[in-house]
Structure 1
Amino acid sequence: MSGQTVTIPDDRAFASFKAECLCEEGWTQTYNKGGITVWTQVLEEGKSIHKIKCRMICKDVSAATMYDVLHDIEYRRKWDSNVIETFDIGKLTVNADVGYYSWSCPKPLRNRDVITLRSWLPIGNDYIIMNYSVKHAKYPPKKDFVRAVSIQTGYMVQTQGPNSCILTYMAQVDPRGSLPKWVVNKASQFLAPRAMKKINKACSKYSEWKQRHNPHLKPWLNPEQTTLTTIPLSELSVQRAESLEKIDESSVAETHEREDSD
């Protein structure tokens, strides 16, 4: 999404994202264990922008359930221990909306937040959800957070059978900071695999949870159920990294905190 004007992704954008999810050329494998593989891509040496791709084989989760879990914002607040705050701001079309998400970073780094335009599309028996950063006048950067920039981030869920799927997560993000090398290493070697495992675990408990929490409410499948206010595209602009504060955390040392158990 390199243009100046905010646009809603079209079929070509989804096809391009899918092709990159499937491509391994130009990527360096950094992790491969227990059905989870992680690749990274160095874009420019010394720059904070990084690209990461994770793929997980899920033998006991259907693609439809995975798609629901990735969409369900109420359920995310329950299972995602990194989330600080997340909410939908408004809708653009039947398959695109704008939302806010803030998350905790490994200590002692400052926490990040982001405003994104998210769009989604079922393609046959597969699904894609992807986003990129936008600006909205009512949600400026906050004093206590570093506003990160999602250049393009998303998920692809591929059906493998009635109760199995492959989840691919790909992110090109500018965290707006000169990060120490240990952060990048920790992301690919530990944080990304752990996040994938958490999603898988969340999927196994979703059906039971959803039965007790508005079981028929799935606006990502049934657009008529949404209560979000429509936002005109004119209220949005593409979030440029250059316009945000850049934080130098390159000298920050790692602290060994107790990790959540999976």
Structure 2
Amino acid sequence: MSTAATKAKTSCTRSWSISEDSLRRYVSYASESCIQELLSASESSLAGGSEGWKVLAFQDGVEVSKRCLDSLHVFRSRWVLRSVSPKQFIAVANAIDAAKQWDPDLVEAKYIKDLNDNLSIIGLRFGDASKPLFKKREFIVYERRETMEDGTLVVAVASLPKEIAAGLLPKKSNSIRGLLLQSGWVVEKLEDDSCTVTYVVQLDPAGWLPKCFVNRLNTKLVMIIENLKKLAQSCPMNSAR
């Protein structure tokens, strides 16, 4: 093998060893940006398509919209959940429960590392039987949960850079490591133990898939709130990981 080929192979498989303190600082910084993006998405007009959002559907109180961002669009759904409190919903609004709704063929979901009480690193792995968007895919993501001053609850979830992820958990030889570019929930309290939930997702499965196909499947991901609502309704109020 030539020297150039050896260097190319090494650069494709490199990983970064990073201290827990450095990892915590990086994730805290990156997740802050994600939180602000989520809050911005939740504040734009419900049916007006403002701030670059284009409404795709609005029916029975449910809005599904998208915003063009590079070749992979960002998708958003927003629902008013009656008789579901913010605490009930936030108990099931996490990366693992969401992944189970994305695809029932989730092979493995585990917490790799807790960096703070509200900040964790999570690994997700999907198998051969999964849908094309997730088939043989892995995702190494952070999850940050925050309560804003006005009581709004935010859960931000996104992939770690591949080099950092490889240092924490080597990739399976027969899998593709995808990127969850941004995702998460904003949960706002309403009267009568109800809440408004905004869910945002932008996912790059990596590997070869037509971008139009990926964008079409991304629109389906934002519809998982209905399933999470059912989980929340059956979840005890004091449920916790």
Provide TM-score, normalisation by structure 2: 0.71
Shift of 1:54: 1.2
Shift of 1:83: 3.0
Shift of 1:16: 4.5
Look up the match of 1:116: 141
Look up the match of 2:13: none
- The question of 1:155 aligning with 2:168 is answered no
What is the 5 A alignment of 1:202-221? 202-207=231-236, 218=240
Aligned pair in 2 of structure 1 residues 137, 129: CA closer, same or farther (>3 Å)? same
Q: Would the aligned equivalents of 1:9 and 1:119 in 2 still touch at CA under 8 Å?
A: no
Task: Encode CA deviations 1:220-256: one digit per residue, 9 max, x unaligned.
Answer: xxxxxxxxxxxxxxxxxxxxxxxxxxxxxxxxxxxxx
- Where 1:66 maps in the other structure, the secondary structure is helix
Q: Would the aligned equivalents of 1:120 and 1:129 in 2 still touch at CA under 8 Å?
A: yes
Task: Choose 60-69 or 100-109, whichever is displaced more.
Answer: 100-109
Q: Would the aligned equivalents of 2:91 and 2:239 in 1 still touch at CA under 8 Å?
A: no
Look up the match of 1:18: 39
Separation in structure 1 between the aligned mates of residue 99 and residue 221 of structure 2, nearest angstrom: 18
Look up the match of 1:166: 196
Separation in structure 1 between the aligned mates of residue 215 and residue 95 of structure 2, nearest angstrom: 28
Task: Tell me the matched-pair count.
Answer: 203
Unaligned runs of 5+ in 2: 1-22, 45-49
Aligned pair in 2 of structure 1 residues 10, 184: CA closer, same or farther (>3 Å)? closer
Separation in structure 2 between the aligned mates of residue 108 and residue 133 of structure 1, nearest angstrom: 16
Question: RMSD of the TM alignment (CA)?
Answer: 3.1
Shift of 1:206: 1.4
Shift of 1:100: 0.7
Q: Would the aligned equivalents of 1:62 and 1:161 in 2 still touch at CA under 8 Å?
A: no
Separation in structure 2 between the aligned mates of residue 117 and residue 166 of structure 1, nearest angstrom: 24
Look up the match of 1:185: 216
Look up the match of 2:10: none
- The question of 1:6 aligning with 2:31 is answered no
What is the 5 A alignment of 1:239-258? none
Q: Would the aligned equivalents of 2:133 and 2:214 in 1 still touch at CA under 8 Å?
A: no
Shift of 1:115: 0.6
Aligned pair in 2 of structure 1 residues 72, 163: CA closer, same or farther (>3 Å)? farther
Task: Choose 30-39 or 150-159, whichever is displaced more.
Answer: 30-39
What is the 5 A alignment of 1:1-262? 6-9=26-29, 13=33, 14-23=35-44, 24-44=50-70, 47=71, 49-71=72-94, 81=104, 83-103=106-126, 105-107=130-132, 110-123=135-148, 124-134=150-160, 135-180=165-210, 181-188=212-219, 190-193=220-223, 195-207=224-236, 218=240
Percentage of identical aligned residues: 19
Separation in structure 2 between the aligned mates of residue 16 and residue 108 of structure 1, nearest angstrom: 24
- Where 1:168 maps in the other structure, the secondary structure is strand
- Where 1:102 maps in the other structure, the secondary structure is strand
Unaligned runs of 5+ in 1: 211-215, 220-262
Shift of 1:141: 2.2
- Where 2:83 maps in the other structure, the secondary structure is coil
Separation in structure 2 between the aligned mates of residue 141 and residue 37 of structure 1, nearest angstrom: 37
Task: Encode CA deviations 1:147-189: one digit per residue, 9 max, x unaligned.
Answer: 111222211111112421111111233221443324422432x
Task: Choose 175-184 or 129-138, whichever is displaced more.
Answer: 175-184
Shift of 1:33: 2.5
